[in-house]
Amino acid sequence: MEILGIDIGGSGIKGALVDIENGILTRDRHRIKTPQPATPNAVGDVVTKIVKHFGWTGPIGCTFPAVVKAGVVYTAANVDDSWIMTNGEKLLHDKTKCPTLLINDADAAGIAEMHFGAGRDQKGVIIMLTFGTGIGSAIFVNGRLIPNTEFGHMEVRGKDAEHRAADRFRKEEDLNWKEWAKRVDEFLGRMEMLFSPDLFIIGGGVSKKHEKFMPLLHTRADIVPAEMLNEAGIIGAAIAAKALVE
């Protein structure tokens, strides 16, 4: 079965058709820059362009960088504040005329990893963390998602954890890998104290360089790099949207 997956980010909106039984893209991704300001109508228009690019009329799974409950957006990260309390699911449905499911972006990436990546066949408590502009998070208990976690906003040393340990701040503060890994390690230690996970999956663009920092991390839980990389959001959103046809 094919479903269109779309990943809305702060800098780009990308989509592709996904074979959800095998977790692979069946067409090349199509990417359009995120409009500025990233208002609901402007973003909805870009999503519509991606739908038209693929000539798609079926269900859509769409990620969003925010807390999303029953299609309603409750926060706004890297998009316009006018999204807050907007029914994004309905807006995108009205724009595209396609059945639409809206899901938190880190949750979607986690779903992809649990089905086809580093979390496949894993049991217990699994936490996926994406290190990029901020820190996204998803937690699964025996394969079941607990949605809309925002662990990147946990306070560490008087700041949001992501303001210390996101990859963005490694670059902005010109931290070497050892210095940055120490911050990540402190954050993971706090997570371990609270949730006693069996596995951490580390995603985001920095995961491509995992050999530079993961050996410097010290947790009781196993730590592995994510496997789905830039396709995780698209694939996870498409998998989640299967609920629209069941």
Hey, where are the domains in the chain?
2-107+231-244, 121-227
Angle in degrees, 0-180, between the axes of helices 88-96 and 40-53, rounded to the nearest 10: 40
pLDDT at position 92: 98
Token digits for 242?
């299967």
Nearest to 107 by CA among 144, 70, 159: 144
Edge-to-edge order in the sheet of strand 144-146? 144-146, 135-141, 125-131, 199-203, 222-225
Domain 121-227: CATH superfamily is ATPase, nucleotide binding domain (3.30.420.40)
Q: How far is CA 149 from CA 15, 92, 128, 136, in A?
A: 24, 23, 11, 8
Mean pLDDT for all residues in the chain:
96
Q: What is the pLDDT of residues 179-190, one digit of tens each?
A: 999 999 999 999
Highest mean pLDDT, choosing among 78-82, 125-129, 204-208 = 125-129
Question: Is 2-107+231-244 CATH 2.170.150.70?
Answer: no
**Which residue from 140, 156, 81 is spatially nearest to 107, judged by alpha carbons?**
140
Q: Do the domains spanning 2-107+231-244 and 121-227 agree at the CATH topology level?
A: yes
pLDDT digits (tens, 9 = 90+) for 34-53: 999 999 999 999 999 999 99
pLDDT at 229: 87
Tell me the pairing of strands 24-25 and 30-33: unpaired
| pTM over 0.75, yes/no | yes
Please give the pLDDT value at position 113: 98
* Cα dihedral 47, 9, 224, 187 sign: negative
Backbone phi and psi for residue 75, each to the nearest 5 degrees, phi listed first: -140, 175
Query: Tens digits of per-residue pLDDT, 52-78?
Result: 999 999 999 999 999 999 999 999 877
Q: What is the pLDDT of residue 230?
A: 87
